[in-house]
Structure 1
């Protein structure tokens, strides 16, 4: 399906790259398939550009998807982060009008992550950083991350959070691909932890992007508000957020990757409004046919269910976010 000739060009905030040597490194670490899916997808710059041209995407912001770069060894994770970020910077330099990238951080190796964030933003031209919803089971509100958040906050940096398989997925995944439901719950768990402990108020400059229409956040926000008001006056959040979660969530950014129509996008906009909603394709893990279906569903249903032009909206929002960063 080819985009309408007069439709606004899209900015894809949730796009992945997958060099063969990265796959080899992951497989060598025992990750034969990513997060229980049937196998690793193929990716190339030329294939990605064809996908963009076919769907009216002018710019894709590249990032590494789950399982990230930390496979259990801090030093190897730091080295792999450097390699993938150098590669992404080269792709962007070769196609400056088509690609940007988020610098991958090797959490939970905090010192290496801080160094790579600074290098990525200052030397490589990254438009933000990419982190997992958890890092070897440690969530983003881990106190060890404070220095990293402080640095990113001082820069007003964009932080693209991608879901990871949670610790203990063997007991909860029901032998299904973890990207089916575990990803949504892990994103939700990580954001709620940050919202409850006051991280977003301590570091108001952080521009966090939550994928997949906010995951489960639109459904659980009211329930979290209730618990904050009635059942969480003490530990583990005695000095946490002064705002209820539903208020905090309005300051975050959200992409539409996944299944935005007919339900998720409406629920998201109902909760947080539309001023921070972004387009995301999830390519290359979402194949071209699926990306085209997703875009077609937005073209067909957004105006009727939500109102306005989703293409103009998400592109304008992405420009604001990327200029801010």
Structure 2
């Protein structure tokens, strides 16, 4: 079964709810085939068929229910998770879902995530790289990670679209061109430095966009750790090789470097649908087989490794 682990779904009513609670970042998600408008799901399924994708694993990132008001955050999280559950129930062979949690309200986040995993049948959780300015290594989130570790849950870590708090990104139209992959890399390094991945080894972390440049920086990160004794609980490359990375990027040299750096068994097919659709969606799958990898590695990336991370039975 060919599974796309990086696809988004933005029901219009959910975006409206976020906007009513003060979000100013929903417009980027209001694009064709992103949600539940008439014909959206049928068009999505046709593109999946054309690309040879059997199933998409859906997340609401970066349109997450991260709100200062706990009541609003819980309402938004429950709303979007219920909408995802409805879509999966309507198309169980084509979609699976990742839970959205009402962080930074950790107790409520645990309760809603447990509901999504245990009652709604979600296959994992999704988080953005920052939560209202807090890193994923914030000690306040320990109970959340513990609940996910207890269930050996996959966790998809996606850029928050917050420009790394840099006007050099935000003010120059670079939020999603370079801001997003840099957020992926920095967000993961916060997880590693805070010891989250070491304390909760049962969580299966999935990082998009070929790791956001972490493979390119791997030796530099290790060298700085060894020379300066940075706060990582282990050699960073050792910690990173316990994660998984998706293929979003469609750049064959970068894919080969990611495979060489982390191992072919640590790379999963991803597309970033609906931001890449039509011919670009087909290319997101096709390029893996055209990147010059050995046939057995192509098979692992496209069809095998996902079953080491997600329970799709």
TM-score, with normalisation over the residues of structure 1? 0.87
- Partners of 2:277 and 2:174 in 1: CA distance: 16
- Mark the CA change 1:186 to 1:232 in structure 2 (over 3 Å): closer, same or farther: same
Per the alignment, residue 146 of structure 1 pairs with 142
Equivalent of 1:205 in 174, 177, 202 = 202
5 Å-filtered alignment, 1:1-325, equals: 9-28=1-20, 29-31=22-24, 34=27, 40-42=30-32, 43=34, 44-166=40-162, 168-232=165-229, 237=231, 240-241=232-233, 243-257=234-248, 259-301=249-291, 304-305=292-293, 308=296, 310-323=298-311
- Mark the CA change 1:221 to 1:324 in structure 2 (over 3 Å): closer, same or farther: farther
SS in 2 for 1:117: helix
Q: Which moved more, 1:128-137 or 1:69-78?
A: 69-78
SS in 2 for 1:219: coil
1:12–1:281 CA contact under 8 A, matched in 2: yes
Residue 168 of structure 1 and its aligned partner are, at CA, apart by: 2.0
Residue 45 of structure 1 and its aligned partner are, at CA, apart by: 2.1
SS in 1 for 2:216: helix
- Partners of 2:273 and 2:172 in 1: CA distance: 24
Q: Which moved more, 1:96-105 or 1:314-323?
A: 314-323
Residue 69 of structure 1 and its aligned partner are, at CA, apart by: 2.0
- Mark the CA change 1:135 to 1:306 in structure 2 (over 3 Å): closer, same or farther: farther
SS in 2 for 1:320: helix
- Mark the CA change 1:250 to 1:32 in structure 2 (over 3 Å): closer, same or farther: closer
Residue 71 of structure 1 and its aligned partner are, at CA, apart by: 4.4
Residue 174 of structure 1 and its aligned partner are, at CA, apart by: 4.4
Residue 73 of structure 1 and its aligned partner are, at CA, apart by: 3.1
Residue 307 of structure 1 and its aligned partner are, at CA, apart by: 5.2
- Mark the CA change 1:283 to 1:245 in structure 2 (over 3 Å): closer, same or farther: same
2:7–2:59 CA contact under 8 A, matched in 1: yes
SS in 2 for 1:84: helix
Aligned length: 305
- Mark the CA change 1:46 to 1:169 in structure 2 (over 3 Å): closer, same or farther: farther
Residue 306 of structure 1 and its aligned partner are, at CA, apart by: 5.5
- What is the alpha-carbon root mean square deviation over aligned residues? 2.1
Per the alignment, residue 3 of structure 1 pairs with none
- Partners of 2:274 and 2:238 in 1: CA distance: 33
- Partners of 2:188 and 2:273 in 1: CA distance: 23
1:185–1:215 CA contact under 8 A, matched in 2: yes
Gap regions ≥5 residues in structure 2: 35-39
2:244–2:266 CA contact under 8 A, matched in 1: yes
1:10–1:311 CA contact under 8 A, matched in 2: no
1:133–1:187 CA contact under 8 A, matched in 2: yes
SS in 2 for 1:218: coil
1:233-292 deviation per Cα after TM superposition (whole angstroms, max 9, x unaligned): 5xxx3xx40x211111111011112x2322221121111101121111111122222112
2:150–2:202 CA contact under 8 A, matched in 1: yes
